[in-house]
Structure 1
Amino acid sequence: MDLDLIITNGVVVTASGTIQPPNSDIAVKDGVITSIGRGLTAFAGPNTKIIDAEGAHVTPGGVDTHVHLSQGAGGVTMDGFDTGTRSAICGGTTTVVCFAAQEKWDEDVLKVVADYHAKAKSQGGTYSDYGFHLILTNPSPAVLDEQLPILRNEEGVSSVKLYMSYDNRQLNDAQIMSVLQRTRALGMTTMIHAENWDMIKFIIKQLEERHQTDPYFHAVSRPPIVENEAAYRAIAIAELMDTPILLVHISTRSSRDHVRAAQTRMLPIHAETCPQYLYLLSDVLKKPDFEGAKYVCSPPVRDDVDDINALWEGIANGTFTTLSSDHCPSCWDHPKGKKLGLDEKTKIARFSAIPNGLPGVETRLPLGYQGVTDGKISVEKFVEVACTNPSKLYGLESKGVLAPGYDADIVIWYPKNKVQVSIENGQLHHRVDYTPYEGFSLGNWPRYTILRGKIVWTREEGGLVGEQGYGQFIKRAGNMLRQPRDVWVNEWRPYEIQN
């Protein structure tokens, strides 16, 4: 066999363990891993590319399942499918699942998804592989009963995201229940943004009356209890419906504990956290000259390092299913970006007008790997939350695992202590004019990124070498992780009715 690629002398990492040299050669043909074993370089042909990993970790390509691209009115300053997926590849992420957002007035979610397909195509295609979640804000009977089955079974869109906050996104508890009833029957994954919107609005009003409107007060307006209450309520609703959910961007110890307690009771509750909550504290929102606006996201980064420690513990002990970026970037120095929150004439800031979100799709994997370097998590756990679990939870059947038959999506890191990387925005590949991690020192970065057998990033030999348009849309299956505890088919029956 004339193999396309062989990676030799690497430590192959899976979620369950590592394979050490000399038993860890990876052979690739036609974009797929054909074998892992000893002495595979003997099968190299004249056209086979051989990469010596020099004893470094070799992991699956990153899978980032929380990415906002070309979304909504704020998309004018956001990454598109072109720059967003370019940035992903350069940081070792080979697959992103981003959002097709239904607005409150939209009655046809099939058209919503079609419009996002058209956006990706009109921008010249993608560098990475990609899929879609549906942000569901108007769960009408027609959407739930007629359109969701088509999205799930024919379009390969097998997940929805619900919001408990924001006037233009929020669903009430009864609406969430109706969605869970349907997604359970369809085997779809349901993501929930858990914040108590009434609490937030009440606090914002009080702060604005006191003229406390600088960027730091964004965090004040969303204290931990805002997330904790909503997370607990979402878990209670999911328990009533006996339906799997994933709580996105968990940022506090208390919310983590709610998730852990539910999991201990064998409820199908999953949770996600993000690098900003593992590295940043709310003091960054106090930076002068309105630069604190760069760090405005929801939930906010927290005040207490105890929350950071609790989140790392939650990754290490399996409470968190996924580590995602929540890449939701707006430019800072742009009148329709973060500076929407600053009156240019009076120089008065208004935090409630600052677009939410941070860039992070390129830095997610290196920041997660830093947890391995610092001894906070094992390299196997890193692969589990950054690659394998996201693939399983969201039905990416051929992704996230280094094994024969899977897509040859591979990241080769540097050997230990060989590089030291300082994050600088000028070296990143998004279209945003800042990174919240400017100046952070990391002990590793992807040396090679390989997508379906093709080298698309080589840090020492040209950087980005992949071609825009090589990325493919991935039709996804259903949730391959924990299923409901019993099987329902199109009916709601949380309790047996007693005569």
Structure 2
Amino acid sequence: MFSYQRGQFDLVIHNGLVVVGSDVMPPSTYIGVKGGIIEQISATPLTGKKIIDAEGGYIMPGGIDSHVHLSQKNTPAGDTFESGTRSAPPGGTTTVIPFAIQNSKEDFDLVSAVEEYHTQAKNNSYCDYGFHVIISNPNDEILKTQLPLLAQQHGITSVKVYTTYPRYRLSDEQLLDILLSNRKLGITTMIHAENADIIDFIGKKLEEKKLTDPFYHSVSRPKVAEDEATYRVISLSKMIDVPILIVHMSSETALATVREAQNSLVPIFAETCPQYLFLTADYLKHQCSHHVHKDDPFEGAKYICSPPLRQSQSELDGVWRAIQNGTVTVFSSDHAPTIYDHPLGKKAGLVNGIPHYKKVPNGLPGIETRMPLLFCKGVETGKITAQRYVELCCSNPAKLYGLDQKGTIAVGKDADFVIWYPKGKMTPFTLTNSMLHHGIDYSPFEGVEFTNWPRYTILRGSVVWDRDSNGLLASKSTGQYVKRAISSMPGPVGKLSYIFE
């Protein structure tokens, strides 16, 4: 609860379980904040102009959602910076990293694309933000001139590439080129790993049989497509001896391949998302045990994302195990939604009344629900520890992406926090989309019961979310751009081969 008094600090937080990646400090811990920075952590009482009594709840670093898609030209019915980041503080997220995209395979001016993205974001973000870049044609101009410039001047130290989608797909040789360049620059490489030829082959067979309902999206992208591409990109990373992050992993078999590489001390990192823990392909069907789409048989299109929702609970359990045993490095939302009831949104997949899953924009909304889902279904059920939660949602993303001021509670770091209710204090509720703050007309997690939710979210020492009182307190000019350093996660284990120098 809030109180106000005179004191040395702008803000003091106390009487909570303070969680960092390796430990939980007791409720006797006081945190003193001044000028937006954590100035003191003390076992003796501190005084401040504003006091927050956490009443025994968890005090954690502000969440970092390191995989979101906002204001992208290819999704005109998607979330903008303003509408997407509006949902960040209410869900405990204080920093997001969306994607600036190479405009086309023929447009090699990546710097201009980034500068244009800056104009989209400036004074339009309710939380702090950085950028990744997506590269669809890694030519010499981009690799040798523009990426170094972006890293040095803009603090953009991560690149995403794809093994699928005609617009973005890279050959193995192109992947090797970019891995080599990124190793020299210290840039983190994010890879969407699915076998495009398997997907195209199955897609043609389904189309021949007129099997194009939303459910067949999951059929067209089987686990083996992810498994093969995962093995292949790990092999390419070994060739160059460079770390990679494989994003939005959904397959236990593919995650086992990552685990095997990690056990051999190969620096391979893995990301997964809420949809691969809580949703099955059953949601894509006309009628499913969770939601019966009586009035709208196309409603399964809401759940189309790639990789797709998997077929069984046992497959979801396998992803949970990869979270529990440490294989998964970061937990992100892959927030990439489009409005359902919009001709350029999910309903673009209805052509003359006939469903075509290939024409449905990929992606689900999830910034606001990401942290509460894992907290309620992970920490509060005992599936994972509070420390593991902070690793996945806060400290590991900060280390992986060079967010040196974020991701942990320590003197000198940004005063970003999320404070939860003490267990059992908040009345459980069933989620409806109307409770959320994004610009999308549905949530895939409607109907889920939540036993906790962020009580306070604090960004650089300012309360930006107060669930008990005034709700969202941030404005769209609250967020600041964050220049990033290079990753502090494990890097190459050997010298660069003379062949590649």
Query: TM-score scaled by structure 2?
Result: 0.95
Aligned counterparts, 1:18-417, within 5 A = 18-22=24-28, 24-41=29-46, 43-44=47-48, 48-74=49-75, 76-102=76-102, 103-121=104-122, 124-287=123-286, 288=293, 289=296, 290-343=298-351, 345=352, 347-370=353-376, 371-417=378-424
Q: Distance in 2 between matches of 1:339 and 1:99?
A: 24
Preserved CA contact (<8 Å) 2:240 2:496: no
- Cα deviation for residue 491 of structure 1 reads 6.7
Q: Distance in 1 between matches of 2:368 and 2:466?
A: 14
Q: Distance in 2 between matches of 1:488 and 1:426?
A: 53
Question: Which residue identity is paired with 1:362?
Answer: E
Q: Distance in 2 between matches of 1:291 and 1:95?
A: 31
Preserved CA contact (<8 Å) 2:241 2:496: no
| Structure 1, gaps ≥5 residues long | 494-499
- Cα deviation for residue 374 of structure 1 reads 1.6
Q: Distance in 2 between matches of 1:300 and 1:441?
A: 24
| Structure 2, gaps ≥5 residues long | 1-6, 287-292
Question: Which residue identity is paired with 2:58?
Answer: H
Preserved CA contact (<8 Å) 1:410 1:449: yes
User: For residues 318-343 of structure 1, what are the alpha-carbon distances to aligned partners after superposition, in whole Å with 9 as ceiling and x for unaligned?
Assistant: 10110000000101000110001112
Q: Distance in 1 between matches of 2:494 and 2:256?
A: 25
Q: Distance in 1 between matches of 2:358 and 2:454?
A: 37
In 2 relative to 1, CA 230–489 (structure 1 residues): closer, same or farther, beyond 3 Å? closer
Question: Which residue identity is paired with 1:8?
Answer: H
Q: Distance in 1 between matches of 2:186 and 2:55?
A: 43
Equivalent position of 1:497 in the other structure = none
Q: Distance in 1 between matches of 2:445 and 2:331?
A: 17
Preserved CA contact (<8 Å) 1:394 1:478: yes
Q: Distance in 2 between matches of 1:51 and 1:392?
A: 28
Q: Distance in 1 between matches of 2:110 and 2:187?
A: 15
- Cα deviation for residue 284 of structure 1 reads 0.2
Q: Distance in 2 between matches of 1:403 and 1:148?
A: 32
- Cα deviation for residue 486 of structure 1 reads 2.5
User: For residues 16-41 of structure 1, what are the alpha-carbon distances to aligned partners after superposition, in whole Å with 9 as ceiling and x for unaligned?
Assistant: 0100121x111100001111122333
Preserved CA contact (<8 Å) 1:447 1:458: yes
Question: Which residue identity is paired with 1:90?
Answer: P
Preserved CA contact (<8 Å) 1:151 1:157: yes
Q: Distance in 2 between matches of 1:129 and 1:488?
A: 36
Q: Distance in 2 between matches of 1:490 and 1:244?
A: 19
Q: Distance in 2 between matches of 1:213 and 1:40?
A: 63
Structure 2 residue aligned with 1:459, among 464, 467, 492?
Answer: 467
Question: Which residue identity is paired with 1:25?
Answer: Y
Residue aligned with 2:390, SS: helix
Question: Which residue identity is paired with 1:430?
Answer: H
Q: Distance in 1 between matches of 2:187 and 2:334?
A: 20
Q: Distance in 2 between matches of 1:183 and 1:490?
A: 17
Question: Which residue identity is paired with 1:415?
Answer: P
Preserved CA contact (<8 Å) 1:399 1:407: yes
Q: Distance in 2 between matches of 1:334 and 1:33?
A: 45
Equivalent position of 2:3 in the other structure = none
Mean Cα deviation higher: 431-440 or 415-424: 415-424
- Cα deviation for residue 90 of structure 1 reads 1.2
Preserved CA contact (<8 Å) 1:366 1:445: yes
Q: Distance in 1 between matches of 2:412 and 2:137?
A: 39
Residue aligned with 2:105, SS: coil
Question: Which residue identity is paired with 1:433?
Answer: D
- Cα deviation for residue 360 of structure 1 reads 0.2
Structure 1 runs (4+) greater than 3 angstroms displaced: 487-491
Equivalent position of 2:290 in the other structure = none
Equivalent position of 1:9 in the other structure = 15
User: For residues 161-213 of structure 1, what are the alpha-carbon distances to aligned partners after superposition, in whole Å with 9 as ceiling and x for unaligned?
Assistant: 00000000000000000000000010010000001111111111100110111
Residue aligned with 1:4, SS: strand
Residue aligned with 2:97, SS: strand
Q: Distance in 2 between matches of 1:159 and 1:97?
A: 10
User: For residues 147-166 of structure 1, what are the alpha-carbon distances to aligned partners after superposition, in whole Å with 9 as ceiling and x for unaligned?
Assistant: 11111112100000000000
Q: Distance in 2 between matches of 1:309 and 1:406?
A: 36
- Cα deviation for residue 252 of structure 1 reads 0.9
- Cα deviation for residue 490 of structure 1 reads 9.6
User: For residues 412-465 of structure 1, what are the alpha-carbon distances to aligned partners after superposition, in whole Å with 9 as ceiling and x for unaligned?
Assistant: 000001121322100100000000000100111000000000000000111101
Q: Distance in 1 between matches of 2:233 and 2:436?
A: 36
Q: Distance in 2 between matches of 1:109 and 1:261?
A: 36
Q: Distance in 1 between matches of 2:498 and 2:9?
A: 48
Preserved CA contact (<8 Å) 1:85 1:127: yes
Preserved CA contact (<8 Å) 1:181 1:491: no
Question: Which residue identity is paired with 2:360?
Answer: I
Q: How many pairs were matched up?
A: 483
Structure 1 residue aligned with 2:500, among 474, 477, 492?
Answer: 492
- Cα deviation for residue 2 of structure 1 reads 2.4
Residue aligned with 2:211, SS: coil
Q: Distance in 1 between matches of 2:30 and 2:498?
A: 47
Q: Distance in 2 between matches of 1:351 and 1:226?
A: 18
Query: TM-score scaled by structure 1?
Result: 0.95
- Cα deviation for residue 125 of structure 1 reads 2.3
- Cα deviation for residue 128 of structure 1 reads 0.3
